[in-house]
Structure 1
């Protein structure tokens, strides 16, 4: 799988983005076997297919809503959630299929529903229940994860793929999940022996203070009960469980004791900070550590500040903490609650010097400086973006664009300094060059994965789409490239699809320069991996220009057009649109004379067109496809061989009148 290369956009060189076929994105796995007990299971169930799929989709949505698991069983919860989310496109395709769930498959889907329902309850428990309770019930919870993993793996074990109208890509994704569940089941019985040991030490009356403190340190980190606010949240969850009668009487005493020890530990060694001392420093000598002056603590993290910065209200915060606050969409000062007139973060060099002097006087190691790149230059440029005249803003945006292109460290520093909201505002600038600089700077910043979320969270998608619709050609090209970069994150595919970007990308595909068309094609391909965006692309009339590109050898867009058509053909509306565009003759010609990758994608589209359509199948045969398909089945790429063989099977059935 080739990486995406962003080449210097200022010298008009074309950014080269190697398109991937859908087969590159999902590793093919072995064929699943259909067992003999499916029909007997059907008799025991009386479930309507559409309702069953709707319930499955609702369960998946519930699981996705739980958020990040930053607590005990984080790995297990995250893995199970990720695997269930990967099944969503499968449920969507079955839901979109005209045939729905065949009777023979209803029992199998009911078993999937039972497994994901159990998964939802376990995940909800891990997300909201008392962490201390989960620690004490660790063995039971681990067994539940093992049981649910096994149940879901078995439910997927004999899916009747041959009677389900789903695409090869989605089938391969389901098989990938199936394989992952098998591997997880084999190692699901592993226990956290250290957790048992730490709990036993804390509850033991004979353990000494040093051993107990070390165990409490480990427990506080593993259970994410490091601060007094964490402890208060845990206390509420514990009291709620006790009042609901959720916990056995003998467990209540242990849970209360553990909570008391953790609370005392946080108060004794922490006071109110957001983090605990390291394990090796938990000893009596910590009690004599100097008290950090309140002015040296960040009002958000309550930790000693490394890079103090001043916001518009005059309050000082740690740069990383206030930037995280702003990236979350907040536009007020956390301490005063005043609305911030601008988002510039100005370094507080005086306070930083005082903190350094205090650390030196008390023999404390100076806070490690965050890698700064060209921080001072960046801060000055951001002030110009925020307060400068239009020509000053244009020049500053151009410099930030080039700094962001230079290296990864600069991309981190520019984002942390608060550039993203300021650049977003410049996307609506009436000056075309300022707009170009702003969108290209965001493109360069988006190369760093951590910046993708910050760009989306600050609401930049809609302004980027506006540039894509109405900007200069260079701005439109780089807006398309930015949307591609952001769409690498799966959740962003949905956000971008909902923003109206797809019709604008189709427009660029039709009237852009070669570079613009390639940027638009790359973004459209990546967005169309999400099932819902396939429909949007088809309804935005993407198929006719793609077919025109197939018929124009001089377009230099053959690979891109075929790759998009191959993924759209897996949806019934895409299949109909391709057929209506009279693409079949040129596809057959590409199977005969195209490159290996073009033959593969052309065969994939032809196979999709032929399924359940004897007229189309007969037409393909009439165009002389049989011989080239035989050759492709013998010498093509693995995916090309598979598609060619499947299509030959349909041609043979149609020839014999047994379609």
Structure 2
């Protein structure tokens, strides 16, 4: 027989471990969903342990010692994903995924062995444990969706052979991992060193160093870590080249200009970077002077140029603009104006020829050329309304739609996101729909990568702002595909899907389609505060409750207790929507009013009448009237 003192001390230790786990957060992107799910499930153990404190006697403490071991393992795993090297975590993703599966299996085994009958648990806590048990069973064998582009880019950046290196891969990696500045990379280096100590006998050291080196090549200097590393060969070339200005004797001023933002000829910050045939980038004015002087070679590589076309490097110019803005530096404007007489940041809109050159590359038989061109167009469409107008007027919409069926994942992602960015300009919405984009976008939503599916959902939302488009989109397979994303997507994907479904469901004809596609059960799951989507889920339910099929489907779920709790403790907006749903259900079936009364809905409804929004007050008053009427009818029957 185990002593009560010893047991209570063990329980306090377990509660302390849960509190430590709860304090963690901001997990690495590569394992965020696994971490969030595990932490959320472990939190469900807190009420069990709180009530278990009162247990008077137990035959054995062994199950609780096993639980302690599991919680230690979970804490170590979550701590690694919280403060470990992002690069290390991705490279060890398979082993870490296996660790999550082991912890899940061990936790399920421990829950099977706990002596529940001796703990005198309340019915509510028992239900919570059963819920946890069911979640653990479902989680077994499920792997988190992998961002394949992230993995591919990391692999490219870890290759020692320069032929396998893709600068754009490093830029995407820096963006996704939030390793854009020197201080961020410095911290990542420290974390990598600490993480590698755990990798006994591992061989990741060289690969991680290679990736960090590549990230430094695209990093933006910041106030914490002013840094510049100028290639000696480039310095020598610039000093002896007649086009180069005299070398400066003064020290470089802070903030230091990143090497890749400097023209290799002038060593000055580039204002209009252009790419020559060899792939090298120069400031337009300097390379043009070089070519005008009769040179037919690339100054850096000395290779003969097969043509003298100068292609604007929009991606680099965008990064330079961002760096200038971050460091309070005014980037001198180029000659020329855009529509409305305003100077354009990128001048892409003012240079229709340059945009058309990018559009021509979309039809290139070379996948790499297509990928770079569509990525540049995606970025251009994101930066300004002028660019969106220019790309659409130059015929970019049909070409981008054609790329939605590309077998190259990144091309498909860039294309659907470029269309999303173009659709921000309202006049482009009609052009996108008229060009036949809806069905291809839906196909991406159904079978693309997770990022492509997310942006496809966002594009459908943007297009559905126009009422006629709600009907057009609803006539396709978009709604079932959005429901699938709502069910299985990432947190971001679920939000994109919810936003699109909300907008589409405003049209009466789409409400039944959403209900028949099974939207209600995942919406009910999202009413869990831990899911972070209560607002979105409740807003959609409020719209669906205005349709008969929606009311029936919502009523078939265990909705009333959740609605009453939201009316009692939710935000002002959630109280309003919860009251709207409850009223619709009660008007459709008086049995729901009886259930609401059983959960003491009267008090929070009365408070809502006093303190709610005007809409909430009306809804709450009507519900109370219906309840009173229903009670009177019951009394009359009894008499």
Q: Pick the TM interval, shorter chain.
A: 0.3 to 0.5
* TM-score (norm: length of structure 1): 0.44
Of structures 1 and 2, the one with the larger relative CO (CA 8 A, separation 6+) is 1
* TM-score (norm: length of structure 2): 0.45
